Chains A and B, each alone.
Chain A
Amino acid sequence: MFESWGRYPKATQRVLPLAWRSDALPARSGPVLAVGQGRSYGDVCLNDGGTVLTTGRLDRFISFDEKSGVVRCEAGMTLADLISFALPRGFFVPVVPGTQLVSVGGAIANDIHGKNHGRAGTFGRHVRWLELLRSDGERKECVPGDPLFAATVAGLGLTGLITAAEIQLVPVSGPFIIEQRVPFRTLDEFFDIDAGSRDFEYTVAWIDAFSRDVRGIYYRGDHSQRPGRAAPGKRPLEVPADFPSFALSGPAVRAFNALVALEARLAKRQRETNVRSFFFPLDRIGRWNRIYGQRGFLQFQCVVPSRDHVRDLLGRVRISGQGSFLTVLKTFGDMPSPGLLSFPRPGITLALDFANRGPDTLRLLGELEEVVRAAGGALYPAKDATMSPRTFAASYPRLAEFERFVDPGFSSSFWRRVARA
């Protein structure tokens, strides 16, 4: 039995580990899907009834130019390894998500975004070249501007196996970040702070989804000019496999959120921290997804055009009484995303997570999805396990164009669920 980071849904699939970029695809029957670190939440990284090709061993560097910061590596390399390599050489990864335990291939295939979306756009914008291995054995090199490149970035693994990529790193002085935390008490306050934070490279807000007026904390930061070396990462504590799921009962989630709010209010408003604790606080606890128990949890990340939609969504969540453990709010900038199916677009993105309580949870997600579709927004495939084909088609207008590039030998649980027949 296999599961994604959300532990929902489960899949039965064959696993074939790849070891060499130069090897042909292994002998197989039925559809295959390349996967990275399995850090997607829903079913984009699952292939129920089929085969997944794991890429963890495709973790070699191919070349690095220390002057320009252009790095070429195999697609299974994790951003954690890339960051460990880049920092001492005076560079950083241009776009990082909330965990460094994702692969370069996964970062491309979901065209991920980070706290610097306004400045840097998505990960795909910094990819200068990639190599794709198709199920017919053909190897294709693509660069920005090629139709196959636009299909493969945010291509959800459906255009073939990405074997390698070239990425433009960004120069930094050292491993430190100057971070500011600004508490807010209403959604309007969030937007005021956000408007006043254009000079910061990185911005994101955490909100307490239980609070009636949308209280929360706005985090913003910039790379510090101070040089130095990062302390070697500590081995994270790991949540045991049989962690009791009552830990996520309503009162516990409520208490946790109150605690985070209090902690931030008491903490110093500005501090210097290192990149790992600024970007990847959750990585300090290994396999934290286990706290949701066997039934797992469902993420819901959408982008909507206006603050009224956010207000509407949060109101519905509050009324439902289904606590969201971590709720994140952020505005996307207007840098165009390079992929035909890229999720980021101008607007406000809201991410929520819900313990899987069966039909009640699914009903709430369906209701939120309706709001997003009516608003002309979109849901993020990397975090989705429930969206309907109708919503997918409505929110990804270049779907038909994309379909021409799908490799007939590749498929995923997500694709079979959302693609029009």
Chain B
Amino acid sequence: MKRVVVLGATSAIAQHVARLYAEQGASLFLAARNPERLAAVAADARARGATQVETAVLDLDDLRAHAGLFEAADAALGPPDVVLLAHGVLGSREAGPEEAPAILHTDLVSPTSLLLQAARRMEARRAGTLVAISSVAGDRGRAANPVYGAAKAGLTALLSALRQRLSPSGVSVLTVKPGFVDTPMTAHLPEMPFAVGPDRVARDILRALERGADVVYTPLIWRLVMLVVRLLPEKLFKKLSF
């Protein structure tokens, strides 16, 4: 049975990934910062049939805790087959210089530290799969959410780099690029084109993992949308308001 580590396990998308793995009887190590919420996710996974569920309560912004986190996961389950990173904050159009560092920290610095930790361990074992939830927002920066877009662009670049580095060791890296997903993160947004539920995104992630995919857009329509968005010449793009 699979051993899966989920970081940011209280994210709506992560919860649905955990459910699917639990239903397959996987063993799960779940980490999040809110103990009551985490306990609810863990109980759900147990009821659905997970073989083993262990939890760790921590703020993933705390970089010093990252090495210990993977030690704890290894000790609890053994070396993981899959490590999924799902935590994140959305920020906003108005995020100024005061808020930007914190957003970049949660959405880029913390994932970078975690991915590098996990990569080192998987590289040594020559096995495992890293998965991180980036975003279509990282494909091209937009005025709608500059800091978040920058962080996700950085995360996408890091994942691409790690994929190249780890490929010879047989370790795979999956970049997940959701469009709009109906989760607490986006509950305040008035309009969400092509929105899907977190259950759909989770199914797409598992399917991409089975296929051994490198990058997955979810839902798939975003692959086309972002192709067009990326091709727009800068002269035109700067005049647009989406």
Contacts and interface: CB of A to CB of B under 8 A. Distances in A.
Contacts of A62: 40, 43-44, 47
Top 6 A-B pairs, shortest CB-CB distance: A22-B36, A61-B47, A60-B44, A64-B47, A61-B44, A19-B184
B187 interface: yes
Interface of B: 12, 15, 36-37, 40-41, 43-44, 46-48, 184, 187
A60 B41 contact: yes
B39 to A, nearest CB: 8
Interface string A1-35: 00000000000000001011110000000000000
A355 to B, nearest CB: 32
Interface string A75-101: 000000000010000000000000000
B14 to A, nearest CB: 13
Contact of A20 (B40, B43, B46, B187): B40
A85 B40 contact: no
* Chain A interface residue number, banded: 10 to 19
A60 B10 CA distance: 12
Contact of B48 (A17, A19, A22, A61): A61
Given A22-B36, A22-B37, A57-B12, A17 B44 contact: no
Nearest to A63: B47
B36 A20 contact: yes
Nearest to B10: A20
Contacts of A71: 47
Given A61-B48, A62-B44, A62-B47, 4 more contacts: A20-B36, A60-B43, A62-B40, A74-B40
B47 A20 contact: no
B104 to A, nearest CB: 25
A19 B37 CA distance: 10
Given A60-B43, A63-B43, A20 B48 contact: no
A64 B46 CA distance: 9
Interface string A257-288: 00000000000000000000000000000000
A19 B34 CA distance: 13
B184 to A, nearest CB: 5
A365 B5 CA distance: 58
Given A61-B48, A63-B47, A17 B40 contact: no
Contacts of B36: 20, 22
A20 B41 CA distance: 10
Interface string A42-84: 0000000000000001001111100000010010000000000
Contacts of A17: 184, 187
Contacts of B40: 20-22, 60, 62, 74
A13 to B, nearest CB: 16
A335 B12 CA distance: 41
Contacts of A85: 48
B19 to A, nearest CB: 9
A21 B37 CA distance: 8
Contacts of B12: 19, 57
A18 to B, nearest CB: 10
A71 B12 CA distance: 22
A19 B198 CA distance: 13
Contacts of B184: 17, 19, 57
Nearest to B187: A17
18 contacts: A17-B184, A17-B187, A19-B12, A20-B37, A20-B40, A21-B40, A22-B37, A22-B40, A57-B12, A61-B48, A62-B40, A62-B44, A62-B47, A63-B43, A64-B47, A71-B47, A74-B40, A85-B48
A293 to B, nearest CB: 26
Contacts of B187: 17
A369 B125 CA distance: 74
Nearest to B47: A61
A35 to B, nearest CB: 16
A20 B15 CA distance: 12
Nearest to A74: B40
Contacts of B37: 20, 22
Nearest to B23: A85
A124 to B, nearest CB: 23
B154 to A, nearest CB: 28
A211 B44 CA distance: 51
Nearest to B39: A22
A71 B43 CA distance: 12
A239 to B, nearest CB: 20
B224 to A, nearest CB: 22
A57 B186 CA distance: 14
A20 B46 CA distance: 18
Contacts of B47: 61-64, 71
A74 B47 CA distance: 12
A64 B37 CA distance: 19
B69 to A, nearest CB: 23
Contacts of A22: 36-37, 40
A19 to B, nearest CB: 5
A74 B44 CA distance: 10
A107 B18 CA distance: 27
Contacts of B43: 60-63
Contacts of B44: 60-62
A85 B40 CA distance: 17
Nearest to B48: A61
Nearest to B184: A19
B11 to A, nearest CB: 11
B100 to A, nearest CB: 26
Contacts of A61: 43-44, 47-48
Considering residues B41, B47, B48, which has the most beta carbons from chain A within 10 angstroms of its beta carbon?
B47
Contacts of B41: 60
Of A20, A71, A85, the most chain B CB neighbours within 10 A belong to A20
A149 B44 CA distance: 25
B180 to A, nearest CB: 15
A22 B39 CA distance: 10
